[in-house]
């Protein structure tokens, strides 16, 4: 088996936007109604057609503490919940943080999640407008039904970034432990 490429993907979003549910739908093709929100950073990996997906997931408060994990990331999936305007308004901040703290030129995907819901606070046109303004690809998804999930990750797989790797790049940043201790143990 010859690996075609390793895809390091960071999935960001406010708490309860469905970041983990999107990834679990993609990897396991399941939806867990009793899923708990991601606390800290989660990691999932899968091999599809000899492409290794290394997917890092974080949400809410931890999005600002994850920059050392994503410094060499090429693909960012920024997720908002169409029924929660606040989650949409945080996208610009996540986009800015990812650009300023990254050593590469990443590709961004704006994902409008929960399109199966009826109580919409953010329209499709608003999402597309923000994606165009920030130079991102736009996708609409439902982790609940699976709509749009596989199209998103297949698009990422087929995208030819000039810095795509053929060797793994799983690494833990030197300051990860210190950051977590400062935050939780020392109350800094």
- Sequence-distant (6+) residues with CB within 8 A of 95 are 76, 78, 108, 134, 136
Q: Measured between alpha carbons, how far is residue 75 from residues 7, 30, 71, 90, 140 in Å?
A: 8, 23, 11, 18, 17
Length of the chain: 188
- Sites in the chain below the pLDDT cut of 50: 65, 172-188
Residues 188 and 184: their CA atoms lie apart, in Å, by 8
pLDDT in tens, 133-186: 999 999 999 999 999 999 999 999 999 888 876 665 555 444 444 444 444 444
Q: What is the pTM of this model?
A: 0.84
Torsion (CA) 23, 11, 124, 89 in degrees, nearest 10: 140
**pLDDT at residue number 164:** 79
**pLDDT at residue number 14:** 92
CATH of domain 5-185: 3.40.50.300
Cβ–Cβ under 8 Å, residues 137 and 131: yes
């Amino acid at each position: 088996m010859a690996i075609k490429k390793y895809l390091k993907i960071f999935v960001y979003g406010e708490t309860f936007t469905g970041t983990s549910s999107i990834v679990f739908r993609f990897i396991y093709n399941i939806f867990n109604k009793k899923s708990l929100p991601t606390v800290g950073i989660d990691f999932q990996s899968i091999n599809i057609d000899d492409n290794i997906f290394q997917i890092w997931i974080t949400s809410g408060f931890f999005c600002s503490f994850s920059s050392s994990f994503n410094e060499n990331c090429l693909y960012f999936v920024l997720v908002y919940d169409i029924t929660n305007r606040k989650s949409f308004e945080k996208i610009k901040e996540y986009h800015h943080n990812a650009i300023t703290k990254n050593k590469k030129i990443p590709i961004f995907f704006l994902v409008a999640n929960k399109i199966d819901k009826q109580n919409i606070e953010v329209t499709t046109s608003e999402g597309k407008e923000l994606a165009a303004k920030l130079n991102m690809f736009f996708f609409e998804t439902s982790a609940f039904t699976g709509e749009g999930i596989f199209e998103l990750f297949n698009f990422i797989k087929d995208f030819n970034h000039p810095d795509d790797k053929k060797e793994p790049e799983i690494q833990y940043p030197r300051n990860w432990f210190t950051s977590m201790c400062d935050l939780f143990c020392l109350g800094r």
